[in-house]
Amino acid sequence: MEPTGEAGAAGVQVKDDLAEKCQKLFLEFLEEFQDKTGEILYLPDAQELIRPERNTLVVSFTNIEHFNQQLATTIQEEYYRVYPFLCRAVRHFARDHGTIPPSKEFYVAFSEFPTRHKIRELTTSKIGTLTRISGQVVRTHPVHPELVSGTFLCLDCQSVIKDVEQQFTYTQPSICKNPVCANRKRFMLDTNKSRFVDFQKVRIQETQAELPRGSIPRSVEVVLRAEAVESAQAGDRCDFTGALIVVPDVAALAMAGTRAETSSRVTGKEGFDADGLQGLKALGVRELSYRLAFLACHVAPTNPRFGGKALRPEDQTAESVKNQMTVQEWEKVFEMSQDKNLYHNLCSSLFPTIHGNDEIKRGILLMLFGGVAKTTMEGTSLRGDVNVCIVGDPSTSKSQFLKHVEDFAPRAVYTSGKASSAAGLTAAVVKDEESHEFVIEAGALMLADNGVCCIDEFDKMDLKDQVAIHEAMEQQTISITKAGVKATLNARTSILAAANPIDGRYNRAKSLKQNVNMSAPIMSRFDLFFILVDECNEVTDYAIARRIVDLHARNVESVERVYSTDEIQRYILFARQFQPKITSEAQEFLVDQYKRLRQRDSSGGTAKSAWRITVRQLESMVRLSEAMARLYCSDEVQPKHVKESFRLLNKSIIRVDSPDINFDQDQEDNEDLNGQNEVMEDQHPPQNGTNGTNGHAMEAEQAGKEEPAAAKATLRMSFAEYRRVSNLLVLHMQKLEQLDEESSLKKSELINWYLGEMEGEIDSEAELVAKKSLIEKVIHRLVHYDHVIIELTSTGLKKGGEGGDEPVVEEDPYLVVNPNYILED
């Protein structure tokens, strides 16, 4: 470890065989290495070096590995030792192929170094070897020249001493080269004849992902030289290739003389304290600690940086992501991609402490995967990010969803609409206190670039501010014009918003739009709207109670998930690299669905409606389908993906707006309904009833529910009522099934039981008849459309003891609850 550190300084005098050999081999590599077309790969680059501003040759480390594995190993292991020799090789190479000024220094930089280390892993054993680390730049220092080779003037005899190599510390000649002059101390640096190189210090810090919880992120100073300076800005996440070195150099410490020299010049202003200290130092008291620094030769951004030129997404491929994973990690990802139940497992693992609300979970999951961003031929970019909004009553775990996402997603920012102005959310121009220059300060949206911005209490935000982020939602940029600064900044973020209904509680009588304090343009930018209502029914209450009591009853820290957060994160990262293309079948299917929606929209007599099916919904559908395809790591969007995205889009809106259930409509195809449609249909139920000829079927919680049989327009009930009745029935049946595995109910029994329950509400015979037909419809619907209840009509499933009822099976089948059906709120 240490010998290598010394070698740099000592190498001038002592002949280093290994290093010389390395230099030779490296020169050979530069001369001989060819690309696929047979050209010498580094020749054009070397010729470029003639230009005065260039001095660094970037060499791919992978190429060296291909050329000569042994050379690569030597460079890696003994990097700090051989580095000056490699630079010399570059110099020779450049000199051979062009005319260069003799005094010019050349440097080599290594890119594409395979392994990457965390900052936390930089230990003494890494000193001097070539490594790559990544981190966030938190501080940059100004660039200044560093002396590489000094020319000194002896103050005693005026002789000039040339080419005194400098290694980190200011090194004077040990003795004047004039044999008669015994001067050891009095030299003057001739700056005009000395050579300098650009030098910059930056500090990088561990990224959050690498940080153990509860620890302060480590940081390390990085020294950049030559062309690497100014390539990293504060806030960037960069990869640095180079070596860990010890500062101050151990060798330099030994030269107490030089230190005393420099300090004596300035003690005047330091006061007596410094004098005392110096005195102690002179006595030989030495500190025994050193700091580490990272000497980097090459800088590459790990992430697109804000404000600057961004990496194209295609720079990162599935392959490169895979390469960054360990074997086990990759196996897990592969295993996950093969999981048949992936969709469900991911949802439940992502929000283990939130009960129910499966659709919202799905929506958020798809948001995390995101659609594919595209650029049209005209250069307009179409966003791929999915925006989701949750509207709901207070205390319905909206904030929990947001917090979860913030906690989970790598680049997520949580902010509250109430607390942040538009400036806090977007970007602000502020005056720098030190330099008095205007600088752009990133807001939450930009901080979440390529991530998720969670905005709580979206509706509390000023309308003005909502407009400000409008641009960000559609254009994925933020532009500011203020104080003479004009800038367009990237803000490619998905937005997950939560909003409270206007009156505190969601009013089912009103449409979504009337319930939320949001402008129509903003509303239309959300791909998915979910509505959470604090509904009251026994089943949900039981489930909630169970969940909460469970939470408190046991003292276990962990929550059960199929996949750990890390695994999901990795999976999403990997899956996001896919750029699924829409297949022709899926295309047709999409067009089909959209056409249906449009038709419904225009023919539905909904001219007054605020929500029209527009291209936006089509775009949303495309995005969601793409996200769906990504979820399955599929390269193409298939009809099944479209189907799910369509279903979700459909559901997202209607949960509450589910209007009255109409049993009088005949509509076989129940897949082609659209939620937005329902929003306004809800307001005009009579219209619906009379207009029943066209496909105005209703969509509700458990997919379409139309009753093909009836014709009476009066046969309707509110959705909530329907839910209540169906839950009642299911609960009753489940209870019976629990009591006795063998028992099952006949349809007629169930109806009778129900009517018995309702006895108190029935006054006349006519009512009884009406109720009876209604409950029949409900059961029919539950059986045929919602598939909550299964009719046991086939003989094979019949219980032996009740075989006698066989003849009436068709009219009065046994009913059992679908074992896959889970009661939800």
Binding segment toward another protein, per CB under 8 A, in 137-145, 581-589, 712-720, 723-731? 137-145
Residue 721 sits in the site that holds another protein (CB under 8 A): no
Q: Quick check: 155 and 242 in contact, CB under 8 A?
A: no
Placement of tokens 């480590």 in the chain: 218
Give whichever of 288 and 327 is closer to another protein, judged by the CB atom.
288
Shortest distance in whole angstroms from residue 538 CB to another protein: 6
Q: Indicate which single residue of 173, 248, 605, 692 sits in contact with another protein (rule: CB under 8 A).
A: 248
Tokens of 412: 């997520």
Binding segment toward another protein, per CB under 8 A, in 107-115, 260-268, 315-323, 806-814? 260-268
Residue 317 sits in the site that holds another protein (CB under 8 A): no
Instruction: Give residues 543-602 in contact with another protein (rule: CB under 8 A).
Output: 544-546, 548-557, 559
SS3 272: helix
Residue 15 sits in the site that holds another protein (CB under 8 A): no
Backbone dihedral angles phi then psi of residue 659, each to the nearest 5 degrees: -80, -170
Preceding peptide of 114 cis, ω within 30°: no
Q: Quick check: 147 and 170 in contact, CB under 8 A?
A: yes
Shortest distance in whole angstroms from residue 543 CB to another protein: 9
Instruction: Give residues 747-786 in contact with another protein (rule: CB under 8 A).
Output: none
Q: Quick check: 568 and 405 in contact, CB under 8 A?
A: no
Residue 282 sits in the site that holds another protein (CB under 8 A): no
Shortest distance in whole angstroms from residue 80 CB to another protein: 15
Instruction: Give residues 180-219 in contact with another protein (rule: CB under 8 A).
Output: 189, 199, 201, 203, 205, 208, 211-219
Beta-carbon contacts of residue 777 (< 8 Å; ≥ 6 apart): 663, 707, 709, 710, 715
**Closest alpha carbon to 371 in 181, 266, 527, 605:** 527
Give whichever of 13 and 555 is closer to another protein, judged by the CB atom.
555
Beta-carbon contacts of residue 163 (< 8 Å; ≥ 6 apart): 149, 150, 151
Binding mask 626-655 for another protein (x = CB under 8 A): ------------------------------
C-alpha distances in Å from residue 327, one per residue of 133, 332, 410, 552: 20, 9, 22, 38
Beta strands in 470-510 (DSSP E): 477-482, 485-490, 494-499
Residue 739 sits in the site that holds another protein (CB under 8 A): no
Transcribe 18-87 into DSSP letters: HHHHHHHHHHHHHHH-B-TTS-BTTHHHHHHTTSTT--EEEEEHHHHHHH-HHHHHHHHHTHHHHHHHHH
Q: How far is residue 116 CA from its own chain's centroid?
A: 20
Shortest distance in whole angstroms from residue 258 CB to another protein: 9
Shortest distance in whole angstroms from residue 549 CB to another protein: 5
Q: Quick check: 421 and 465 in contact, CB under 8 A?
A: yes
Q: Indicate which single residue of 291, 595, 787, 799 sits in contact with another protein (rule: CB under 8 A).
A: 291
Q: Indicate which single residue of 273, 378, 433, 740 sits in contact with another protein (rule: CB under 8 A).
A: 273
Give the containing element (helix H, strand E) for 357: none
Give whichever of 286 and 787 is closer to another protein, judged by the CB atom.
286
Binding segment toward another protein, per CB under 8 A, in 23-31, 57-65, 273-281, 655-663? 273-281
**Closest alpha carbon to 87 in 145, 26, 141:** 26
**Closest alpha carbon to 825 in 501, 545, 488, 440:** 545
Instruction: Give residues 102-131 in contact with another protein (rule: CB under 8 A).
Output: 123-124
Instruction: Give residues 455-494 in contact with another protein (rule: CB under 8 A).
Output: none
Instruction: Give residues 401-420 in contact with another protein (rule: CB under 8 A).
Output: 403-404, 407, 416, 419
Binding mask 144-183 for another protein (x = CB under 8 A): xxxx--------------------xxx-------------
Shortest distance in whole angstroms from residue 542 CB to another protein: 6
Residue 429 sits in the site that holds another protein (CB under 8 A): no
Instruction: Give residues 352-411 in contact with another protein (rule: CB under 8 A).
Output: 352-353, 395, 397, 400, 403-404, 407
